């Protein structure tokens, strides 16, 4: 391909709306253009790289025994009602109406569709296991589309769905996908690692997210360098001790704390109650019901953990400024800052308490009376806790539950997710089979997603320098950029470029000739911005010495004899390819 024949609109300026470097580079290198927020057109180079990521995904899915299908984007709402997600995913669903005013859903994911298919097509245990995948467009009504392809309204996902007859079979399918993911990211030149992830109400440890470490990521990952434990903060646990028990006996005592509405204020003189001896009382609205959540004064609630443990679908803090919520505080008798669960909790309100408070005594909490607190609280004696659960957020430095070493926390981008679903969809959507004894059972499912477009951008986020993208060879739009410094037809650099182009292309190498009539500086800068793994500079000066200049994007220039140039390039590409595939 020739530069002048395709479209590579590189930009010098950083686009004003691109906050993170990978987004800036996607636009500056002429890979994508924004149509509207969260909607992007892939330009020729961007599409080539995207197709390469998709092809790696496809090869590894096929190698793992998954079967490719293609499902419609437009989905009938009835199957979403059947699974219950018409309600639970309501906010994320993009809907459209047809001419008969019938509503359709633009698929954000395809569990309902594939399970409906399997319900109709598979019937005997002999037809299992099966794993179906597709690579296609998803739509999600994200609250805040941002960071380019990272969080888009419309994006490309590889989604796979496994169907097994037994739990053990489902675990084997899960492991195959887990292994395939590790290979996919390694082959894409991406350093990604698996972390334990939230499993919602399904429970268990059979959900992993594949994360790419990056300051710009939207996830916090807790990890232990000593033993390798790693978990999303929404799931992570630590070996932090429970609250130290002190002498019991003293009865509760209400005391005045005028104007004190924070943990911090109560920890100061004249009260001097350390945060770790305070109980923080949070009022939440969980599936439209008011609930109380108790955590230690020096801890933070993790809402995802709370949702996973209780099965609540819509959870939000009650807001005293919201007239509808104000009634909850009125019922308790106090505003935030003086809340507690010792007295005046309306009948029927559930009180959830973090496990770290279990057995705690000599604690201080709000009195449900503005300007008053209660001390000498022995939580199990004085508070009617409905259920104990781990809902606190782990912080850096806490001891690892497995090995005791200090945990660390880092930001990361989620590029993929593997999840054992069990029978969550096969039961409501009737994906059942007859076993050897003629008994009808629901299939045991797993689902496995990779954000193909997000992965592409994560590669850039991880692999760039001040001059531009540094593409791993396997996902670069072209492997080699030939840069003749004179482009007049018949000029020696152009003649040699065309000759090398033919030889390299014949050897299966993907080559772009920068045939623009531009200054060498402009061409070099652009080739670095776009990030071709190898540039071959062909100028009159070096030609006079019988040489061309080979410049790996991430390495030093080397002079190569014209006669051996093609062989040197082929060898370089071969070695680089082998290196990336060896990582897989
Ligand atoms: P997130 O927590 O980032 O919203 P998710 O948990 O909703 O992601 P899944 O439903 O597990 O995502 O989807 C599988 C993969 O699809 C994710 O791992 C991610 O790579 C990608 N993905 C999800 N939402 C988006 C989006 N809005 N834009 C681009 N890629 C996305
Ligand atoms: Mg996820």
Cβ < 6 A, ligand 1 pocket: 109, 140, 142, 151-152, 155, 157, 414-417, 449, 451, 453-454
Mean pLDDT, residues 184-206: 90
Res 248: pLDDT: 66
Mean pLDDT, residues 425-430: 96
CA distances from 137 to 54, 140, 553, 555 (A): 12, 10, 32, 37
Nearest atom in ligand 1 to 415's CA: 20
Ligand 2 centroid to 139 CA: how many Å?
Answer: 15
CB 547 within 8 A of CB 559: yes
CB 463 within 8 A of CB 530: no
Ligand 1 centroid to 451 CA: how many Å?
Answer: 6
Ligand 2 centroid to 63 CA: how many Å?
Answer: 24
Nearest atom in ligand 1 to 416's CA: 18
The 10s digit of each residue's pLDDT in 288-326 is: 999 999 999 999 999 999 999 999 999 999 999 999 999
Rounded to the nearest integer, the mean pLDDT of the chain is 96
Question: CA 419, CA 113: separation in Å to the nearest integer?
Answer: 17
Res 109: pLDDT: 97
| Joined tokens for residue 180 | 């395939």
Question: CA 236, CA 308: separation in Å to the nearest integer?
Answer: 13
Q: Measuring from atom 13 of ligand 1, which residue has the nearest CA?
A: 449
Q: Measuring from atom 21 of ligand 1, which residue has the nearest CA?
A: 451
The 10s digit of each residue's pLDDT in 143-192 is: 999 999 999 999 999 999 999 999 999 999 999 999 999 999 999 999 99
Share of the chain above pLDDT 90, in %: 96
The 10s digit of each residue's pLDDT in 374-421 is: 999 999 999 999 999 999 999 999 999 999 999 999 999 999 999 999
Question: CA 46, CA 81: separation in Å to the nearest integer?
Answer: 37
Mean pLDDT, residues 232-246: 92
The 10s digit of each residue's pLDDT in 322-351 is: 999 999 999 999 999 999 999 999 999 999
- How long a stretch of residues is the chain? 584
Question: CA 96, CA 74: separation in Å to the nearest integer?
Answer: 9
| Banded model confidence at residue 250, pLDDT cuts 50, 70, 90 | confident
Ligand 2 centroid to 449 CA: how many Å?
Answer: 8
Q: Which residues pair with 465 in a beta bridge?
A: 468
Nearest atom in ligand 1 to 145's CA: 27
pTM of the entire predicted model: 0.95
Question: Ligand 1 pocket check: which of 57, 181, 414 to mutate, most ligand atoms within 8 Å of Cβ?
Answer: 414
| Banded model confidence at residue 127, pLDDT cuts 50, 70, 90 | very high
pLDDT at 520 over 90: yes
CB 111 within 8 A of CB 123: no
Share of the chain above pLDDT 70, in %: 99
CB 104 within 8 A of CB 77: yes
The 10s digit of each residue's pLDDT in 63-83 is: 999 999 999 999 999 999 999
DSSP E strands, 493-562: 511-513, 534-538, 547-552, 558-561
Ligand 2 centroid to 452 CA: how many Å?
Answer: 14
Ligand 2 centroid to 450 CA: how many Å?
Answer: 9
pLDDT at 113 over 90: yes
Ligand 1 centroid to 235 CA: how many Å?
Answer: 17
The 10s digit of each residue's pLDDT in 253-292 is: 999 999 999 999 999 999 999 999 999 999 999 999 999 9
Question: Ligand 1 pocket check: which of 221, 449, 459, 461 to mutate, most ligand atoms within 8 Å of Cβ?
Answer: 449
Question: Please, what's the b/e burial string for 326-352 (b: 16 or more CB within 10 A of its CB; e: otherwise)?
Answer: eebbeebbbebbbbbbbeebeeebbbb
The 10s digit of each residue's pLDDT in 447-462 is: 999 999 999 999 999 9
CB 553 within 8 A of CB 534: yes
Res 148: pLDDT: 97
CB 360 within 8 A of CB 248: no
pLDDT at 199 over 90: no
Res 238: pLDDT: 98
């Amino acid at each position: 391909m020739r530069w002048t024949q395709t479209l590579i609109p590189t930009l010098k300026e950083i686009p004003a709306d691109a906050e993170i470097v990978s987004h800036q580079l996607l636009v500056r290198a002429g890979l994508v253009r924004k149509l509207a927020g969260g909607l992007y057109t892939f330009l020729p180079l961007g599409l080539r790289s995207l197709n390469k990521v998709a092809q790696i995904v496809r090869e590894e899915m096929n190698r793992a025994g998954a079967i490719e299908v293609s499902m419609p984007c437009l989905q009938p709402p009835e199957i979403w009602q059947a699974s219950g997600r018409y309600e639970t995913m309501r906010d994320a669903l993009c809907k459209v109406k047809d001419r008969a005013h019938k509503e359709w859903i633009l698929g954000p994911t395809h569990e309902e569709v594939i399970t409906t298919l399997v319900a109709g097509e598979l019937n005997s245990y002999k037809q299992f296991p099966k794993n179906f995948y597709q690579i296609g467009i998803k739509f999600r009504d994200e609250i805040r589309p941002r960071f380019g392809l990272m969080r888009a309204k419309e994006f490309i996902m590889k989604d796979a769905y496994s169907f097994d007859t037994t739990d053990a079979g489902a675990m084997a399918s899960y492991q195959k996908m887990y292994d395939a993911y590790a290979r996919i990211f390694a082959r894409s030149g991406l350093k990604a690692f698996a972390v334990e992830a939230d499993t919602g109400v399904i429970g268990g440890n059979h959900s992993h997210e594949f994360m790419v470490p990056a300051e710009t990521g939207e996830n916090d990952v807790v990890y232990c360098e000593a033993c390798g434990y790693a978990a999303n903060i929404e799931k992570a646990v630590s070996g932090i001790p429970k609250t130290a028990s002190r002498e019991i006996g003293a009865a509760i005592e209400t005391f005045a704390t005028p104007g004190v509405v924070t943990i911090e204020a109560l920890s100061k003189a004249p009260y001097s109650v350390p945060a770790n001896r305070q109980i923080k009382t949070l009022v939440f609205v969980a599936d439209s019901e008011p609930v109380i959540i108790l955590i230690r004064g020096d801890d933070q609630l993790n809402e995802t953990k709370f949702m996973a443990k209780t099965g609540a679908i819509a959870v939000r803090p009650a807001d005293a400024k919201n007239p509808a919520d104000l009634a909850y505080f009125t019922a308790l008798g106090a505003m935030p800052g003086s809340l507690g669960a010792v007295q005046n909790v309306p009948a029927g309100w559930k009180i959830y308490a973090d496990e770290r408070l279990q057995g705690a005594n000599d604690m201080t909490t709000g009195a449900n009376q503005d300007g008053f607190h209660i001390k000498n609280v022995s939580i199990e004696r004085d508070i009617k806790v409905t259920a104990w659960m781990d809902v606190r957020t782990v912080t850096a430095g806490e001891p690892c539950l497995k090995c005791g070493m200090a945990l660390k926390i880092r930001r990361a981008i989620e590029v993929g997710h593997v999840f054992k679903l069990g029978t969550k969809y096969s039961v409501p959507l009737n994906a059942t089979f007859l076993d050897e004894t003629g008994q009808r059972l629901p299939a045991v499912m797993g689902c496995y997603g990779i954000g193909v477009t997000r992965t592409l951008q994560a590669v850039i986020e991880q692999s760039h320098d001040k001059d531009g993208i540094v593409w791993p060879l396997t996902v670069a739009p072209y492997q080699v950029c030939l840069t003749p410094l004179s482009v007049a037809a018949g000029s020696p650099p152009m003649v040699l470029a065309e000759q090398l182009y033919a030889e390299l292309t014949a050897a299966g190498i993907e080559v772009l000739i920068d045939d623009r009539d531009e200054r060498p500086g402009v061409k070099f800068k652009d080739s670095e911005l776009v990030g071709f793994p190898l540039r071959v500079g062909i100028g009159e000066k070096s030609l006079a010495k019988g040489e061309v200049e080979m410049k790996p994007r991430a390495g030093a220039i080397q002079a190569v004899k014209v006669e051996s140039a093609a062989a040197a390039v082929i060898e370089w590409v071969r070695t680089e390819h082998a290196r990336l595939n060896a990582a897989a």
